Amino acid sequence: MGKESIKTKVLITGSSGQLGQCLKKIEGNYPNLQLCFTDSKTLDICKKENLKEFFANSQFDFVINCAAYTNVENAEKEPEKAFRVNAQGAKNLADICKEQNATLIHISTDYVFDGKKDTPYTEEDLPNPINQYGKSKLAGEKYIQETINNYFIIRTSWLYSEFGNNFLKTILRKSGNKEKLTITTSESSSPTNANDLAKFILDLVDINNDVYGIYHYSNLGEATWYDFAKEILRFSRKLEFIKLEKTDNYPTFAARPKYSVLSKEKSLECFDIEIQEWTLSLKELMKN
What are the catalytic residues?
133
Residue-wise burial string across 165-182, b where 16 or more C-beta atoms lie within 10 A, e elsewhere: ebbbbebeeebeeeeebe
| 3 state SS for 104-159 | EEEEEEHHHCCCCCCCCECCCCCCCCCCHHHHHHHHHHHHHHHHCCCEEEEEECCE
* CA 178 distance to own-chain centroid: 30
With left for phi above 0 and alpha for psi between -120 and 50, is residue 208 left, alpha or beta? left
220 - beta bridge partners? 277
Radius of gyration of the chain (CA): 19
Angle (CA) 113-115-120 rounded to 5° is 85
CB atoms within 10 A of CB 109: 26
Contact 268, 217 (CB under 8 A): no
Give the Cα separation of 207 and 78 in Å (integer). Answer: 40
